[in-house]
A and B are shown apart, each in its own frame.
Chain A
């Protein structure tokens, strides 16, 4: 396919988050905007958006949830005819909800993702990582993104929801349809509908054949103020688990693998010092934060000199904020024992990622298991690594040899 997009005239007034160079490496572009006189860029592309890049601005927007609402959270406008609202055709509460619904939506899923609750998935995650490595360890080469990272979150989540693991490829296809091919409206619509239809069938099946110990059943039986939660909420959470939990974590794992393939000194430090892991994982999440979320401006306001109108889209570039030199010393450098690291890879405020502890566990176990089995490895050819970007940034193919 030839690229027919018009060249970017200026990052400050015409950025294009889907431009292939920016998708592969967005950091120079973010830095150009952040260090300019106008650290909140604007573009007319894709029906227009604002792009704050400084840590302070991104956090302020994330905190001001009444002005910067979550009626729309994707970096692209909605599909024509489809509602962006909290109970739109395929919402994903609580991520797309605003208060007051947001509070009970979020309260119901937080316990599922508390540190001690996700700890029970550690061994099964380790087992599935080992099984993936078994497939390629004798070949001396593997795609660290497509043969490894890509399979981990989708299997963990299928296991949590209680759906068959053979849905893995289908789920991955749907999630990529929603998040990675954002300029293809028809594909987005089909993918979103497919997710909801699939989980509706899962819910119907559980009504006929009740089960225990899976998240879908637990959600169906949850009561709020004496009434079972609406079915839309159950479907929304299932949608959220896929859309928010798969592409994102797999992208983080992929970026971490890409980094480690190029940094033998970091592999060595991690192998030799167990105490380094907690800060190292946070540091890798800071530098390779995969997610950019959008907000919809509720009413006309001036924010940092920018005339924002009701309905405008604001892209919270967490990856840009995480490399702001005003907040982080030597921001582009990976410092595994970084002491002060108030990063926003998981966002900030009331919509801060509910699944962060699960994501941390998956990233840590994926890297630990790989380093135990394959301590030395390198990129086959840096030029052949391919990337996804826009909403979620991470490698989609990353060949390594060992």
Chain B
């Protein structure tokens, strides 16, 4: 789900597990997408620290 909402930020590793692709701060233009990924993650696995 996160990879659909924000493909620039979320992907998966070679084992098929979800993975964050960007190190450090999320660019401002992607913030909306990342918030949507957080709001839609069925496992509540995304935490945004500000």
Contacts and interface: CB of A to CB of B under 8 A. Distances in A.
Interface of A: 107, 109-117, 278, 282, 339-344, 346, 348-349, 352, 360
Interface in B1-44: 1, 3-5, 11-12, 14-17, 36, 39-44
B16 A352 contact: no
A278 B4 contact: yes
A114 B3 CA distance: 10
Nearest to A112: B16
Given A115-B12, A352-B43, 13 more contacts: A107-B15, A107-B16, A110-B15, A111-B14, A111-B15, A112-B16, A114-B16, A115-B3, A116-B11, A117-B16, A282-B4, A348-B43, A360-B4
B11 A115 contact: yes
Contact of B39 (A115, A339, A348): A339
Contact of B12 (A116, A341, A346, A349): A116
Size category of the binding interface on chain B: 10 to 19
A342 B1 CA distance: 9
Contacts of A112: 16
A113 B18 CA distance: 12
Most buried by A among B4, B11, B41: B4
Contacts of A349: 43
A243 B11 CA distance: 28
B8 to A, nearest CB: 13
Given A111-B15, A113-B16, A114-B12, A342 B42 contact: yes
Contacts of B39: 339-342
A360 B3 CA distance: 12
